[in-house]
């Protein structure tokens, strides 16, 4: 049995960022430097890792600008195809942040090394198949060694997961939610440009849809949450949500998958997962938090203020959905991303001005019953609506580093209050701790309205 980090205080680094010279990785480094050796921060020792020493040096120079290179940051050469180098990384750090995607191609060796060595693992994956396979394959090993393996610690899927829980907690007894729809709105004074890695992951996700369904069919069935009232109807293809000023279409994303996995874990652990050595005060806080989270059906839609924007979203979805099923189609999609995404994705990513000008709003429109007894009546329909909102800066290069670093800082400062180990969703591990930290770092959670619905 490997020695876990809880028993090994002599590790060289608090955090190692793997893939630090990539598009997203360099912004993660920049965010990490804000907390390195500051008075209230637990981050005292940091290393960045990747294949090219030269690129890592340039990344550190860029991230530190206009300040000089921080002498306390180490540079380590490592490769996801080199198992000994990955094991060496994991044995030197408390937390490894993995920014090397697509994760279905590059992620498993990193998870395996972390689960084997006992260091904690966080990534920014938004790939359901990768997350579910890693949980199935490495959960037991991670429990044994004391490694927390947590995927989706970026814009996929923390704003959605924490936003769902925030809306759910507004339903005070006897009121209960039935379903919550999230509406993502991306905004910018300039052109919105996404990360090519996100686009590539979406293309590969379409290519592997059948494998994901086959994998899910092979897994043991877990209990599903009991949700008051009938399941919601699918509704029209294009929805006009007047109260938030958006037209929207359904978005196949990891967010709904992650929320469902969290709710399933809560059925098995209604008070959340106990910390490895938590205090009575923290235990009471954990139980109070999770007792206020209520299950509901959950879906995600992407919105636009104009019908033309919606048609553009549908067009990109059709390109990826149709061409992503054949090898030649995937070659076309990945060779000419700007063309097939109608300008939303390009290989070189957005400029710094485009990143600074972008932001997001994620609206959560919850429908439920003012009294739980109404849900069991024949032909019952929700009679109450609660709207909440999560809002923050650009999603891929600003919000993602913020939420990833805050999860890592929770691991460093409150590890004894967290589960010993295992593969879990972010909400299950960080739920009681994360919202306040995000609020303090530029991501807001707001209650917009509570109202009765017309009969």
Q: What confidence score (pLDDT) does residue 5 get?
A: 38
- Cα–Cα–Cα angle for 290, 407, 387, nearest 5°? 50
Q: Are strands 73-77 and 297-304 parallel, antiparallel or unpaired?
A: unpaired
Q: What does the pLDDT look like over 402-446, one tens digit per residue?
A: 999 999 999 999 999 999 999 999 999 999 999 999 999 999 999
Write out the two tokens for 405.
């670093």
Q: What confidence score (pLDDT) does residue 53 get?
A: 94
Local confidence band at 368 (pLDDT 50, 70, 90 cut-offs): very high
The rounded distance, in Å, linking the Cα atoms of 31 and 28 is 5
Q: What does the pLDDT look like over 277-312, one tens digit per residue?
A: 999 999 999 999 999 999 999 999 999 999 999 999
Task: Record the pTM.
Answer: 0.94
Across the range 219-227, mean pLDDT stands at 89
Q: What confidence score (pLDDT) does residue 8 get?
A: 44
| Domain at 13-150: CATH code | 3.40.50.720
CB 50 within 8 A of CB 21: yes
Sign of the alpha-carbon torsion through 29, 35, 36, 41: negative
Contacts of 350 (CB under 8 A, 6+ apart): 193, 194, 358, 394, 397
Is the model more confident about 71 or about 391?
A: 391
Contacts of 77 (CB under 8 A, 6+ apart): 49, 50, 51, 52, 53, 56, 85
CB 293 within 8 A of CB 266: yes
Q: What confidence score (pLDDT) does residue 10 get?
A: 54
The rounded distance, in Å, linking the Cα atoms of 31 and 399 is 10
Local confidence band at 9 (pLDDT 50, 70, 90 cut-offs): very low
Across the range 77-106, mean pLDDT stands at 93
Give yes or no for residue 76 having a pLDDT over 80.
yes
Q: What does the pLDDT look like over 25-73, one tens digit per residue?
A: 999 999 999 999 999 999 999 999 999 999 999 999 999 999 888 888 9
Percent of the chain whose predicted confidence (pLDDT) is above 70: 98
- Cα–Cα–Cα angle for 296, 300, 301, nearest 5°? 140
Is the model more confident about 393 or about 3?
A: 393
Nearest CA to 33 out of 80, 68, 77, 9 is that of 68
Q: What confidence score (pLDDT) does residue 1 get?
A: 27
- Domain extents for the chain? 13-150, 158-258+295-397+434-452
pLDDT, averaged across the chain: 92
Give yes or no for residue 3 having a pLDDT over 70.
no
Give yes or no for residue 191 having a pLDDT over 80.
no
Give yes or no for residue 221 having a pLDDT over 50.
yes
Strands of 133-288 (E only): list them: 148-150, 176-188, 239-241, 246-250
């Amino acid at each position: 049995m490997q020695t876990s980090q809880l028993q090994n205080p002599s590790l060289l680094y608090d955090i190692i960022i793997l893939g630090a010279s990539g598009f997203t990785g360099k912004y993660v480094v920049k965010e990490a430097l804000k907390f390195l050796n500051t008075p209230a921060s637990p981050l005292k020792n940091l290393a960045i890792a990747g294949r090219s020493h030269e690129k890592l040096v340039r990344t550190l120079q860029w991230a530190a600008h206009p300040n000089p290179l921080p002498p306390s940051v180490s540079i380590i050469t490592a490769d996801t195809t080199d198992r000994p180098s990955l094991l060496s990384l994991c044995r030197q750090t408390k937390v490894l942040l993995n920014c090397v995607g697509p994760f279905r191609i590059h992620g498993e060796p990193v998870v395996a090394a972390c689960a084997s060595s006992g260091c904690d693992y966080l990534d920014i994956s938004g790939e359901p198949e990768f997350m579910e396979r890693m949980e199935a394959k490495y959960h037991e090993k991670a429990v044994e060694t004391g490694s927390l393996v947590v995927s989706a610690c970026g814009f996929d899927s923390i704003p959605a997961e924490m936003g769902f829980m925030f809306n759910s907690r507004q339903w005070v007894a006897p009121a209960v939610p039935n379903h919550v729809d999230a509406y993502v709105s991306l905004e910018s004074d300039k052109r919105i440009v996404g990360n090519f890695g996100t686009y590539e992951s979406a293309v590969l996700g379409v290519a592997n849809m059948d494998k994901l369904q086959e994998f899910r069919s092979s897994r043991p069935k877990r209990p599903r949450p009991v949700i008051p009232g009938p399941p919601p109807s699918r509704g029209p293809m294009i929805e006009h949500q007047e109260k938030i000023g958006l037209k929207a279409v359904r978005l196949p994303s990891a967010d709904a998958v992650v929320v469902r996995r969290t709710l399933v874990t809560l059925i098995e652990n209604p008070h959340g997962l106990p910390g490895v050595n938590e205090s009575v005060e923290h235990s009471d806080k954990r139980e109070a938090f999770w007792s206020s989270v209520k299950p509901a059906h959950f879906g995600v839609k992407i919105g636009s203020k104009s019908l033309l924007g919606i048609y553009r979203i549908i067009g990109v979805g059709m390109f990826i959905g149709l061409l992503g099923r054949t090898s030649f189609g995937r070659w076309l999609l990945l060779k000419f991303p700007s063309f097939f995404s109608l300008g939303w994705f390009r290989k070189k990513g957005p400029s710094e001005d485009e990143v600074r000008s972008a932001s997001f709003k994620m609206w959560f429109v919850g429908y439920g019953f003012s009294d739980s007894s109404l849900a069991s009546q024949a032909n019952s329909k929700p009679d109450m609506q609660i709207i909440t909102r999560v809002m923050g800066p650009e999603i891929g290069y600003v919000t993602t580093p913020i939420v990833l670093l805050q999860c890592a800082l929770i691991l460093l400062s409150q590890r004894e209050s967290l589960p010993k180990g295992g593969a879990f969703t972010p909400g299950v591990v960080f739920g009681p701790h994360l919202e306040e930290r995000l609020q303090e770092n530029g991501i807001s959670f707001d209650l917009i309205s509570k109202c009765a619905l017309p009969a």
